Structure 1
C-alpha cells in the first residue's frame, strides 16, 4: 500500500512538472517567467519580443490605456498605421499629450542608415528613406497643426533605436545594422524601473536637441516623390546618376 501511494504521488508530481514545463514554453509562460526574474533582478523587463513587428498588438493595447505618449523613431512608418490609432483617436481627451521625434529629412544619419539597409535590402536607398521620413513628418505635422497637445520635433542625432514611452511602459527597439527595425528585438520595461527611467531620460535629451519642422519641410512630400521617381528612373539608365 505504501509503495502504491508513493507511486501515485510520484506520478502526480511528474505530471505537474511536465505541465508546468509545457506552460513555460508558451508565450504566457515565458512572459510570466520574465516578469518574475525581472522582479528579482529589479531590471524592470516586462516582456521581450523577438521582432518589433510582433510587439504591435501589445503596444496598441498599452496605447489604449496611456495618459501621455512620447515617440522617437528612425523612420516613423508605424506611427501612421493601426498600431498608433488609439493615440491619434484619443489625444486631447484621455491622452493629455503626444511628443514625436523624427529625423530631419536632410539628416546625415539617414545616409548611413540607408547604406546599412541596402546591404540586405537592395531595393532600399537613401532617396526612398528620405521620402518616407518626409511623408511621416507631414503626417504628424498635420496633427500638430490641428491639435495643440501634439508636438513634433526633428533632429539630426545619431539614432540607433526606436522609443515609445507612456506613463506605464517603455518600448525600446535597438536597431541592428543587418536588418530592418521591424525585425529587430523589442524590449518592454515597466514603470517604475531603472530601464524605464533610462528610456525616459534618453527621450528627454534627444527632445532638447530637436526643433519644430520649418514649413517648407512639411510641404516637400510631393516634390520629394517626384525626385524619388526621377532617381529611380535615372538609376536604371547605364552611366547616368541622379543627384539632388
Structure 2
C-alpha cells in the first residue's frame, strides 16, 4: 500500500514538474516572473527579448503613447521603418519632443565605426567601415529632411563605441546590448519601466551623450546606398 501511494505521489509530482516547466517556457509567465523580480529589486526590468527585432511591435505601441522620445542608435536603419513612421508623420498626436543621436560618420580617426565593422565582418563580409558610414549618412539625411518639416525633432551626432541602442520615452526604455559578431536586430534587448534603476541609467546615458554631441551640418549629403534590413 505504501509503495502504491508513493508511486501515485511520484506520478503527480512528475506531472506537476512537467506542467511547471511548460508554463515557464512560455513567454508571458516568464515575463510575469521577470516583472515580479523587477518590482522586488527596483531594477525596472519587465521583459527580456532574445532579439531586438522581437520587440518592434511593443516599441511601436510605446512610441504611440509617448509624450517625448529619446533615441541613441548605431546605423539608425530602424528609424526609417514602420515602427517610427508615426513619429515622423505626427499621427500619434501625443509626442511633443523627439531627440535622436546617430554616430558621426565623419569623425576622425573614426576608430569606433571601424571597430564595429570589424566585429560584424566575419558574419557579414560586405559590412565594411565605408558601408557603415554610408548607411549612417543616408539615415541622417532622411531624418534631417523629416526634421525640417516637423517641429520638435532634433538630430545630433556622437562619437562613442557602438555598445548599445537606447530608446527612452517618458514611460519606459528599451536597451539593446550589441553583441560582437551579431547585428543589432539579433542582439538581446531589455524592456524597463519608469521608475527604476535601469530606466534612470538609460535616460542618464542618453542625456550625458546628448550634452557632448555635435549638431548635424545643415547640408547633409545623402548617399546612394539605401539602408539594408
Shared topology, TM-score over 0.5? yes
Q: What's the TM-score, normalizing by structure 1?
A: 0.81
Q: Aligned residues, how many?
A: 219
Give the Å deviation of 1:10.
Answer: 10
Give the Å deviation of 1:225.
Answer: 3.0
Structure 1 alignment gaps of length 5 or more: 1-7, 227-244
Query: What is the CA–CA distance in structure 1 between the aligned matches of 2:131 and 2:162, rounded to whole Å?
Result: 18
Give the Å deviation of 1:90.
Answer: 2.7
Q: Which residue of 2 aligns with 1:237?
A: none
Q: Which structure: larger Rg?
A: 1
Give runs of aligned pairs for residues 128-207 of structure 1, distance below 5 A: 128-207=131-210
Q: What's the TM-score, normalizing by structure 2?
A: 0.86
Say which is worse superposed, 136-145 or 85-94, in terms of deviation: 85-94
Give runs of aligned pairs for residues 1-244 of structure 1, distance below 5 A: 19-90=19-90, 93-107=93-107, 108=110, 109-216=112-219, 218=220, 220-221=221-222, 224-225=223-224
RMSD between aligned residues: 2.5
Structure 2 alignment gaps of length 5 or more: 1-7
Query: What is the CA–CA distance in structure 2 between the aligned matches of 1:18 and 1:176, rounded to whole Å?
Result: 33
Change (3 A) 1:158 1:14: closer
Higher helix share: 1
Runs of 4 or more above 6 Å deviation: 8-17
Query: What is the CA–CA distance in structure 2 between the aligned matches of 1:48 and 1:92, rounded to whole Å?
Result: 26
Point out which structure has higher relative CO (alpha carbons under 8 A, 6+ apart): 2
Change (3 A) 1:86 1:19: farther
Q: Is the 8 A contact 1:24 1:33 kept in 2?
A: no
Q: Is the 8 A contact 1:155 1:211 kept in 2?
A: yes
Query: What is the CA–CA distance in structure 2 between the aligned matches of 1:86 and 1:15, rounded to whole Å?
Result: 48
Query: What is the CA–CA distance in structure 2 between the aligned matches of 1:13 and 1:89, rounded to whole Å?
Result: 56
